[in-house]
Amino acid sequence: MKFFVDTADVAEIADLAATGLVDGVTTNPSLVAKTGRPFLDVLAEICRLVDGPVSAEVTATDQAGMLREAERLLAVAKNVCIKVPLTIDGLKACRALSARGVAVNVTLCFSPAQALLAAKAGATFVSPFVGRLDDVAHDGMRLIADIVQIFRNYPAFRTEVLVASVRHPGHVVEAARLGAHVATLPPAVIRQLVRHPLTDKGLEAFLADWAKTGQIIA
């Protein structure tokens, strides 16, 4: 499974990229707004930090507007992936961009039918939002299972399932078990994946025993 980091905080991205765990980045207007910086400046800096795809979302809602904004975003860096909403105009824009070989992330997916449409439109990624479904008492991981199964039934589809709105490590593990291709994670969730109380306890014991020897490694 590939890990994308879901943030526009360049300091967080740089720190996590140093681990080798970051395969890409996803952003959205809300995340960029939190930085208080110009969007294109933030995007350019992120694209320099990672080699993988960096999803940059259009804000237009009509196909023509989406395509105009896409051109401006694509001019920033070669690893920009255009993010469009799962609407009729978004699917039209996806088809036009993907026909040119442009990577497209179709976002705000909440049903298997929507995911099927994104794949037929040539999306590189489709982003089902598991946490937001859980928030309204729907089973977000059931959606992932359904999409993965549908895509497996049609090997001609090249669209990858990008699990979004991830809230905790359980979402990540279950998505991997189901065979999702990518999970995009807030930095805090990536750090949660590392932690286990027995790891902390074991390290504490090892260090205590080492200290008793009075030795150093130099």
Residues noted as catalytic: 83
Q: Do residues 28 and 107 touch, judged by C-beta distance below 8 A?
A: yes
- The C-alpha angle 9, 11, 12, rounded to 5 degrees, equals 70
Segments of 110-186 assigned E as strands: 125-128, 160-163, 182-185
Sequence-distant (6+) residues with CB within 8 A of 17 are: 49, 50
80 sits in which H/E element: strand 80-85
Nearest alpha carbon to residue 123 among 114, 132, 131: 114
How many C-beta neighbours within 10 Å does residue 89 have? 17
| Number of Cβ within a 10 Å radius of residue 167 | 17
Helix (H, G, I), strand (E, B) or coil at 106: strand
The pair of three-digit structure tokens given for residue 59, joined into one six-digit string: 């804000």
Residue with tokens 């995340």: 31
